[in-house]
Amino acid sequence: MTVPASASAPTVAGIDVEAIRPQFPGLARTLPDGRPAVFFDGPGGSQPHASAIVAVARHLESSMANLDGAFATARETTALVERARVAGADLLGSAPEGIAFGPNMTTLNFLLAHALARTLAAGDEIVVTALDHDANVAPWLLVARDHGLVVRTAPLRVTDGTLDHDALEGLLGPRTRVVAFPLASNALGTIPDIPRIAAAAHRVGALAWCDAVHSAPHRRIDAAALGVDVVLCSAYKFFGPHVGIAAIRRDLAETLPADQVRPAAESPPGHRFETGTQSHEGLAGMVAAVDYLAGLGTGADPAPGAGRRARLDDAFARIQRHEAALTLRFLDGMADLPKLRLYGIADPARVGERTPTLCFTIEGQPPHAVTEALGEAGIFTWHGNYYALNVMESLGLEGRGGAVRAGFLHYNTPAEVDRFLEALHHIAT
């Protein structure tokens, strides 16, 4: 196995991995034999940062109250929720007024899809993609059944796991009302051309509706710059607790029908989609996670005093460079694994078109057996379809147990990639 010598240093392109790793308590986990665990299960959920853990506990310990009361803990909780809206807006590049919270992205998306469907007419059309997680497909299928809508699916190119943008544009027409798509595939890591999709949706008067769950820990998200109308993600994918976040274009958040208890406040607009009391402790952890990410961008550029959005810009540029180096290391070492088949973009020259998420099979080995063997070696990965049902059906893998999925995050190291490659070589032989 050959790996680039330059990738062996702990500091890669502005990410000091050795300084970061102690800030994630979960990474200290060891196996019974004393070996450290390797967390390549990030596409299913990241390890939380210590500051997020502390923030959750601190809120429960000292500020537990509901909103808008005339006493100290209620005022603290009310202020926390407002800070959370600003943090969510900074992370997603949107306005705080359009931020809505929920238990997870899937629940929020079902709620918002049902709200939008009440404004549509029978025969209206929704376009989804074969690249999507089912959380951005199933809600549209259900509302289509209930309201007489039509759902069309844009295919992916099986050769490299990319979205067929021409085919997607060919599906759009005067009855198209929503184009739902991912910022990045949770199965293959593929990053579609988001501005192109959003522009195509808007040309026919449709909404650009974006699932950013998988993309959130890997790429800077700027809803305004991308031209998307709704973007959803979950904090447990970017080093926080289980909280869903939606950034809804303000005028849309103000006008969509919302189910609320009768005395509910009408402002800010995003609050209209928050049913009942939210997880305030979860919001505290989410704010801490966003601040942690912004803190990665406090190097020479931008200056430490720069605003959070500018620091997030720099932080994600550093994260992307680090994760690209890990991906290139794996792609280079994969050459020594002829029985391994990688699905999605495998060309090192195109590493910028994907997240560091690897979907693969090993000849003669069921996916569940591979993940079990990796687990025994202390390397945590996933198998199956990971709710990317259309992806697995398109690749012909759904009836064969799906595939193995591993993903790198900015707290992973080159040494862990090498250990992974060695374990795969052992399994394959």
pLDDT, tens digit, for every residue of 375-399? 999 999 999 999 999 999 999 999 9
Classified as helix, coil or strand, 302 is coil
| CA-based nearest residue to 191, from 403, 10, 356 | 356
- Write out the H or E segment, with its range, that includes residue 179: strand 176-182
- Write out the H or E segment, with its range, that includes residue 178: strand 176-182
pLDDT, mean over the chain: 93
Mean pLDDT on 354-366: 97
Classified as helix, coil or strand, 95 is coil
pLDDT, tens digit, for every residue of 196-212? 999 999 999 999 999 99
Residue holding tokens 């959130």? 216
Per-residue pLDDT, 260: 78
What type of residue sits at position 90?
Answer: D
Please give the Cα distance from 207 to 214 (Å, whole number). 21
- Exposed (0-12), middle (13-18) or buried (19+): which is 398, by Cβ within 10 Å? middle
Mean pLDDT on 121-130: 98
Q: In order of start, what are the domains of the chain with their CATH numbers?
A: 5-47+308-428 (3.90.1150.10), 53-292 (3.40.640.10)
Which two three-digit tokens encode residue 70?
């005339």
pLDDT band, very low/low/confident/very high, at 303 (cuts 50, 70, 90): low
**pTM (2 d.p.):** 0.93
pLDDT band, very low/low/confident/very high, at 271 (cuts 50, 70, 90): confident
Per-residue pLDDT, 301: 56
pLDDT reading at 124 higher than 70:
yes
> Phi and psi for 81 in degrees, rounded to 5?
-60, -40
Partnered with residue 15 across adjacent β-strands are 12
pLDDT reading at 328 higher than 80:
yes
Please give the Cα distance from 59 to 290 (Å, whole number). 17
% of the chain at pLDDT higher than 70 = 93
Per-residue pLDDT, 302: 59
Please give the Cα distance from 421 to 327 (Å, whole number). 12
260 vs 155, residue with greater confidence: 155
Pairing of strands 207-211, 230-234: parallel
Mean pLDDT on 159-173: 98
Per-residue pLDDT, 7: 37
pLDDT band, very low/low/confident/very high, at 350 (cuts 50, 70, 90): very high
